[in-house]
C-alpha cells in the first residue's frame, strides 16, 4: 500500500505544479497587466520603480493598465532568460536589453517590432534609433543612451596637477603618477583598473580615422556581418600598441570584475565605465571627488568620438497597453526623471528642452560630459552586433591579457579575428 | 506477495509495472525524448528557432573540438575535479570523524555542520563573492591579509573549491555521520577487547566499515564537480580570463546565452553518452561483485 501512497503523492505534486504553471498570468478584472523585465540595479532600480509606480497611479489607473516590473539581473542575464522563455507563456510583454540582444532578436519570431506597434519615433535621438535598426526595421525602442566615460579620482589628479587624459599615451603618464605600490611591491593603488572588451573596443576601434568598424556590414547592422575587419585595417593593432604603454607603467590592474567598486573604494585611480553608472559611482565614492571625461583617444586621428550604447525596450506582445507603456517610458518628462536619477543620456530630444533637465545639467555638470560626448560624435559610430557575443566578450579579455603578458602582436590580432570569424560562420550556417 | 498460480503471477507482475507507469511517463517526456532529440539534432543543422535546416554530419562535433575555449574548459574542469574531490572527501571525513561519538554536546557540532544543507546555493555563492572579492575584500579587511580572491586565476579556482566544499558539506556530513553511528557497537567493543584503540580502531575497524558510504560521497562529489556551473555563474562568470570556465559553464554560455545550437546538441549528446557509459560500467561492476558474493 505504501507504493500507492507514494504514487498518489507524486501525482498530486505533479498536478499542483501544473496548476501553478498555468495560473501565473492571471490578472484581476479588466486591468491589463504589462510585464517588464529590466536590468536596472542599485539606485537606478529605485528610479525605475518610481517611474513604474507613477505610471500605475496615473496613466495606468485611467486606462486600466498595470505595469509589473521584474528585475532579471544584468542586461545579458535578461537576454539569457528571454531566450530561454521564447515560445513559452512566461515571455514578458517588454524586456529591457542592450545591443548584445540585437542579433538574437533579429531572428526571433516572437519579437514585435516598434514599427508594427505603430509608435511615433520622431522625437527620439537619431543615433539611438540607428543603433537598433536592422533589416527587419526598428527592433526596439531606445530607452536610455549612455556613453563610455573615463572616471578618475579628481582629488588625487588635482593634487598631482594632472588633468583628464586626452589620449591613451597621456593616460599612461597619469597612470604612472597615480599608482602606488607597497613595500612588498604589490599594488596598493592601481593607476587604472580593468581590461577593455567588446563594448570599450567598439569605441577605441570605431573612433579611429574618423570612423572605423570592427566587423563588415556596418558592424553587423546591415545584415549579419561576414567577417572581422579590425585586422586588415590595423585598428586593433593600433589600440593594442597604445594600451601596452598603460600596462608597462606597472601600475595597471588587470582585474575583470568589481572594477568600479575598487575605484570607489579608492584602490584604483581611474576606470572606464558606462555613463549609466555615474549616479551609483558618485554616491559610493565617499572619500574623494569623482571626475569624468570622454574616453582617451587611441591617437590624434581617432576623432570619431564615442559609441552610443544603453538599453532599449523590446516588445513581445502586440496590443494597445504595451504601446501605451512604451510611449510613456520614452516621453519627455519620464526621460527627464530617468536621466536625472541615473546619469543616462535622455533618448527623447524634447527632454533637452525641458526646464527641469536644463536646470539639472547646470547643477550637475558631470552629467553633461556624456551627452556632450554623444552629441559631438560621428553618428555613424555604432555598437557591434556579433553572434556568440558573450563568448567573444571573454575572448577579447583573454586575448588582450595574453598580449600584455608578452604574446606576439600579429598572432594576437589574427587569433581574435579567427575566433570572431568562426562564430560568424557557425551562426550564418544555422540561420 | 504470493505467487501461487500462473495467472496470479502475471497479474502481480503486471501490477508492478503499472506502479512504475507514472515514473516511466515522466522520464519519457522529460528525459528520454529530449535526450534522443539532442542526439539526433547533433548531426543536423538547427537554427536558433529550433527548425532543422540541413544535415551536418560530424561538423558540429568537429567545430566543438576546434574551439579553443572548449578545449580550455576541459582543462579547467579536470583541474577542478582533481582539486575538489580529494579536498571535499578529506574535509567531510575529518569533520565527521572528529564528531562521530555521540555525547551530550554533539548537538552543537551537528547543528553547525548540518546547517549548510538548508542554505541555498545562490546565497552561498553571493556570500563567497563578497568575502573573497579581490584585494579590498571583507576577508582581507578583517585579517589584514592580501589574498587576491577571485580577482586572479589561481585565487578564483581556490575560492571555487572552497565554495564547492561548503555546498556539498552538509549532505556528505549527514551521510558519513549516519554511517559512523550505525556501526554495530558490538564490533567496536570486540575490537576494544582485542586491544585496539584510538587510531587503530578508527583506521582499521571503523573506516573500513563505512567504506561504502565514503564511496557514495566521492561519487556525489565527482558528479557535482563535473556538472558545476551555477556557482560559477554567480561567483566568477568563468573569469578571470576563463580560468574558471568549466565544461558546463562553457555549455551554458554557448547554448543559453549565445543560442548556439551546434554546440548545444553536440556537447549535450557527448555528456549524455559519457554518463550513460559510466553508469553502465558501474552497474556491471556492481552486479559482478554481487554475483561473486
Model confidence, pTM:
0.78
Asked whether residue A5 carries a pLDDT value surpassing 80, the answer given is no
Instruction: Count how many pairs of residues, chain A against chain B, have C-beta atoms within 8 Å.
Output: 104
Residue B86 lies in a domain: yes
Residue B12 lies in a domain: no
pLDDT mean over B105-132: 87
- Using CA atoms, how far apart are residues B15 and A34, in angstroms rounded to an integer? 50
Residue B185 lies in a domain: yes
Residues of A in contact with B247 (CB under 8 A): none
Write down the pLDDT at residue A15. Answer: 46
Domain ranges, residue B91: 78-247
- Using CA atoms, how far apart are residues A95 and B234, in angstroms rounded to an integer? 22
Asked whether residue A10 carries a pLDDT value surpassing 70, the answer given is no
Residue A225 near residue A385 (C-beta atoms within 8 A)? yes
Residues of A in contact with B53 (CB under 8 A): 430
Percent of chain B with pLDDT over 90: 26
What's chain A's average pLDDT?
A: 87
Nearest beta carbon to residue A388 from set B53, B151, B258: B258
Residues of B in contact with A254 (CB under 8 A): 240
- Closest to A33 (Cα-Cα) out of A316, A321, A323, A318: A321
Judged by DSSP in three states, A124 sits in: strand
Nearest beta carbon to residue B22 from set A7, A265, A427: A7
- Closest to A259 (Cα-Cα) out of A281, A279, A282: A281
Residue B240 lies in a domain: yes
- Using CA atoms, how far apart are residues A88 and A186, in angstroms rounded to an integer? 52
For every residue of chain B, DSSP letters joined together read ----SHHHHHHHHHHHHHHHHHHHHHHIIIIIHHHHHHHHHTTEEE-TTS-EEEE-TTHHHHHHHT-HHHHHHHHHHHHHHHHHHHHHHHHHHHHHHHT-S--TTHHHHHHHHHGGGGS-HHHHHHHHHHHTSSTTSHHHHHH-----GGGSHHHHHHHHHHHHHHHHHHHHHHHHHHHHHTS-HHHHHHHHHTT--HHHIIIIIIHHHTHHHHHHHHHHHHHHHHH--HHHHHHTTT-STTTT--HHHHHIIIIIIS--HHHHHHHHHHHHHHHHHHHHHHHHHHHHHHHH-
Contact of B26 with chain A, judged by CB distance below 8 Å, is answered with yes
Write down the pLDDT at residue B6. Answer: 53
Write down the pLDDT at residue A11. Answer: 46
Q: A3 to chain B: nearest residue by CA?
A: B19
Range with the poorest average pLDDT among A112-121, A124-133, A233-242: A124-133
B244-261 pLDDT per residue, tens: 999 999 998 888 777 788
Nearest beta carbon to residue B258 from set A256, A387, A431: A387
Range with the poorest average pLDDT among A253-262, A395-404, B82-91, B132-141: B132-141
**Cβ of A14 and B46 within 8 Å?**
no
Judged by DSSP in three states, A269 sits in: coil
Contact of B48 with chain A, judged by CB distance below 8 Å, is answered with yes
| Chain A: closest CA distance from residue B210 (Å) | 29
Judged by DSSP in three states, A345 sits in: strand
pLDDT mean over A241-268: 90
Judged by DSSP in three states, A230 sits in: coil
A303-329 pLDDT per residue, tens: 888 888 888 999 999 999 999 999 999
pLDDT mean over A414-431: 88
A63-92 pLDDT per residue, tens: 999 999 999 988 888 988 998 888 788 899
Q: Please, which residues 56-85 of chain B have a Cβ atom closer than 8 Å to chain A?
A: 63, 66-69
Judged by DSSP in three states, A141 sits in: strand
A421 confidence band (pLDDT: 50, 70, 90): very high
For every residue of A369-387, DSSP letters joined together read HHHHHHHTS-TT------T
Asked whether residue A35 carries a pLDDT value surpassing 90, the answer given is yes
Domains contained in chain A, CATH given: 30-146+309-375 (3.40.190.10), 148-306+387-430 (3.40.190.10)
**Cβ of A7 and B49 within 8 Å?**
no
Asked whether residue A107 carries a pLDDT value surpassing 50, the answer given is yes
Residue B69 near residue A391 (C-beta atoms within 8 A)? yes
Residues of B in contact with A79 (CB under 8 A): 257
| Chain B: closest CA distance from residue A141 (Å) | 22
| Chain A: closest CA distance from residue B94 (Å) | 35
Say how many domains are in chain B.
1
Write down the pLDDT at residue A206. Answer: 92
For testing the chain A interface, which of B245, B257, B267 should be mutated: the one with the most A CBs within 10 Å? B257
Q: B53 to chain A: nearest residue by CA?
A: A430
- Using CA atoms, how far apart are residues B14 and B22, in angstroms rounded to an integer? 14
Contacts for A118 with CB less than 8 Å, ≥ 6 apart: A323
Residues of B in contact with A184 (CB under 8 A): 146
Angle at A305 between CA A303 and CA A307, to 5 degrees: 140
For testing the chain B interface, which of A394, A395, A401, A428 should be mutated: the one with the most B CBs within 10 Å? A394
Write down the pLDDT at residue A3. Answer: 52
Write down the pLDDT at residue A28. Answer: 53
Cite the beta strand spans of A78-179 per DSSP E: 94-97, 133-134, 137-138, 141-142, 148-153
Looking at per-residue confidence, does A131 or B179 come out higher? B179
**Cβ of B133 and A258 within 8 Å?**
yes
Residue-wise burial string across B116-154, b where 16 or more C-beta atoms lie within 10 A, e elsewhere: beeeeeeebbebbbebbbbbbbebbeeeeeebbbbbbbe
In this prediction, the answer to ipTM > 0.85 reads no
pLDDT mean over A90-100: 90
**Cβ of A255 and B134 within 8 Å?**
yes
Write down the pLDDT at residue A8. Answer: 46
C-alpha cell at A234: 590595423
| Chain B: closest CA distance from residue A295 (Å) | 24
A145-173 pLDDT per residue, tens: 888 999 999 999 999 999 999 999 999 99
**Cβ of B69 and A3 within 8 Å?**
no
B278 confidence band (pLDDT: 50, 70, 90): confident
> Terminus-to-terminus CA distance in chain B, angstroms?
26
Q: Which residues of A touch B (CB under 8 A)?
A: 3-4, 7, 10-11, 14, 76, 79-80, 83-84, 104, 107-109, 184, 186, 254-258, 261-262, 265, 267, 387-391, 394-395, 397-398, 401, 419, 422-423, 426-427, 429-431
**Cβ of A389 and B135 within 8 Å?**
no
C-beta atoms surrounding A217 within 10 Å: 16
pLDDT mean over B186-202: 85
**Cβ of B151 and A255 within 8 Å?**
yes
CATH code at B110?
Answer: 1.10.3720.10
Percent of chain A with pLDDT over 90: 49
Residue B178 lies in a domain: yes
Residues of B in contact with A258 (CB under 8 A): 133-134, 151
Write down the pLDDT at residue B172. Answer: 92
Looking at per-residue confidence, does A233 or B56 come out higher? A233
Residue B89 lies in a domain: yes
Write down the pLDDT at residue B204. Answer: 86
**Cβ of B254 and A431 within 8 Å?**
no
Residue B196 lies in a domain: yes
- Using CA atoms, how far apart are residues B35 and A164, in angstroms rounded to an integer? 57
Residue B243 lies in a domain: yes
Amino acid at each position: 500500500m505504501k507504493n500507492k501512497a507514494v504514487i498518489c503523492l507524486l501525482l498530486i505534486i505533479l498536478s499542483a505544479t501544473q496548476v501553478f504553471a498555468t495560473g501565473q498570468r492571471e490578472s484581476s478584472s479588466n486591468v491589463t497587466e504589462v510585464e517588464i523585465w529590466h536590468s536596472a540595479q542599485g539606485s537606478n532600480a529605485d528610479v525605475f520603480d518610481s517611474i513604474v509606480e507613477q505610471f500605475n497611479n496615473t496613466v495606468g489607473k485611467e486606462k486600466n493598465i498595470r505595469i509589473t516590473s521584474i528585475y532579471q539581473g544584468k542586461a545579458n542575464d535578461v537576454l539569457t532568460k528571454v531566450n530561454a522563455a521564447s515560445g513559452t507563456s512566461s515571455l514578458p510583454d517588454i524586456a529591457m536589453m542592450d545591443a548584445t540582444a540585437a542579433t538574437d532578436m533579429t531572428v526571433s519570431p516572437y519579437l514585435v517590432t516598434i514599427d508594427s506597434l505603430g509608435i511615433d519615433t520622431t522625437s527620439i535621438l537619431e543615433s539611438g534609433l540607428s543603433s537598433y535598426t536592422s533589416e527587419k526595421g526598428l527592433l526596439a525602442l531606445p530607452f536610455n543612451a549612455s556613453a563610455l566615460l573615463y572616471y578618475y579620482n579628481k582629488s588625487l589628479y588635482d593634487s598631482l596637477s594632472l588633468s583628464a587624459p586626452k589620449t591613451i599615451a597621456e593616460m599612461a603618464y597619469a597612470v604612472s603618477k597615480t599608482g602606488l605600490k607597497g613595500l612588498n611591491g604589490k599594488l596598493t593603488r592601481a593607476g587604472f583598473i580593468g581590461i577593455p572588451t567588446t563594448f570599450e573596443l567598439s569605441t577605441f576601434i570605431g573612433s579611429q580615422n574618423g570612423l572605423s568598424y570592427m566587423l563588415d556590414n556596418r558592424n553587423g547592422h546591415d545584415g549579419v556581418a561576414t567577417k572581422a575587419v579590425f585586422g586588415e585595417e590595423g585598428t586593433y593593432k593600433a589600440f593594442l600598441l597604445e594600451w601596452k604603454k598603460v600596462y608597462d607603467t606597472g601600475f595597471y590592474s588587470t582585474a575583470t570584475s568589481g572594477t568600479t567598486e575598487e575605484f570607489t573604494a579608492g584602490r584604483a585611480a581611474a576606470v572606464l565605465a558606462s555613463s549609466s553608472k555615474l549616479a551609483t559611482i558618485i554616491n559610493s565614492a565617499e572619500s574623494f571627488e569623482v571626475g569624468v571625461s570622454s574616453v582617451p583617444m587611441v591617437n590624434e586621428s581617432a576623432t570619431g568620438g564615442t559609441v552610443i550604447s544603453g538599453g532599449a525596450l523590446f516588445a513581445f506582445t502586440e496590443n494597445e497597453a504595451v504601446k501605451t507603456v512604451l510611449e510613456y517610458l520614452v516621453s519627455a518628462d519620464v526621460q527627464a526623471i530617468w536621466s536625472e536619477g541615473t546619469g543616462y543620456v535622455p533618448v527623447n530630444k524634447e527632454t533637452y528642452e525641458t526646464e527641469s533637465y536644463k536646470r539639472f545639467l547646470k547643477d550637475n555638470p558631470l552629467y553633461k560630459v556624456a551627452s556632450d560626448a554623444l552629441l559631438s560624435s560621428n553618428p555613424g559610430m555604432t555598437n557591434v552586433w556579433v553572434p556568440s557575443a558573450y563568448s567573444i566578450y571573454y575572448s577579447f579579455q583573454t586575448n588582450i591579457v595574453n598580449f600584455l603578458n608578452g604574446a606576439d602582436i600579429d598572432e594576437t590580432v589574427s587569433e581574435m579575428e579567427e575566433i570572431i570569424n568562426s562564430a560568424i560562420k557557425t551562426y550564418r550556417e544555422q540561420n | 506477495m504470493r505467487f501461487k498460480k500462473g495467472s496470479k503471477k502475471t497479474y502481480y507482475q503486471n501490477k508492478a509495472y503499472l506502479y512504475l507507469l507514472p515514473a516511466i511517463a515522466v522520464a519519457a517526456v522529460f528525459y528520454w525524448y529530449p535526450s534522443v532529440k539532442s542526439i539526433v539534432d547533433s548531426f543536423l543543422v538547427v537554427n536558433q528557432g529550433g527548425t532543422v535546416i540541413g544535415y551536418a554530419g560530424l561538423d558540429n562535433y568537429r567545430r566543438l573540438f576546434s574551439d579553443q575555449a572548449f578545449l580550455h574548459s576541459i582543462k579547467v574542469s579536470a583541474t577542478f575535479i582533481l582539486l575538489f574531490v580529494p579536498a571535499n572527501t578529506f574535509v567531510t571525513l575529518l569533520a565527521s570523524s572528529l564528531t562521530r561519538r555521540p555525547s551530550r554536546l554533539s548537538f552543537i557540532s551537528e547543528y553547525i555542520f548540518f546547517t549548510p544543507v538548508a542554505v541555498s546555493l545562490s546565497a552561498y555563492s553571493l556570500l563567497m563573492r563578497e568575502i573573497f572579492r579581490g584585494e579590498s575584500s571583507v576577508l582581507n579587511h578583517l585579517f589584514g591579509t592580501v589574498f587576491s580572491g577571485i580577482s586572479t586565476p589561481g585565487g578564483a579556482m581556490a575560492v571555487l573549491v572552497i565554495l564547492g566544499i561548503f555546498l556539498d558539506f552538509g549532505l556528505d556530513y549527514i551521510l558519513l555521520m549516519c554511517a559512523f553511528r550505525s556501526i554495530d557497537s558490538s564490533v567496536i567493543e570486540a575490537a576494544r577487547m582485542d586491544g585496539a584503540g584510538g587510531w587503530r580502531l578508527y583506521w582499521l575497524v571503523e573506516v573500513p566499515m563505512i567504506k561504502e558510504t565514503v564511496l557514495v560521497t566521492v561519487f556525489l562529489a565527482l558528479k557535482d564537480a563535473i556538472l558545476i556551473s551555477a556557482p560559477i555563474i554567480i561567483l566568477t562568470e568563468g573569469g578571470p580570463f576563463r580560468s574558471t570556465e568549466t565544461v558546463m559553464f562553457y555549455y551554458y554560455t554557448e547554448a543559453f546565452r549565445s543560442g548556439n545550437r551546434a554546440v548545444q546538441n553536440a556537447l549535450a549528446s557527448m555528456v549524455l553518452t559519457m554518463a550513460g557509459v559510466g553508469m553502465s560500467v558501474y552497474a556491471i561492476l556492481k552486479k559482478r561483485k554481487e554475483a561473486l558474493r
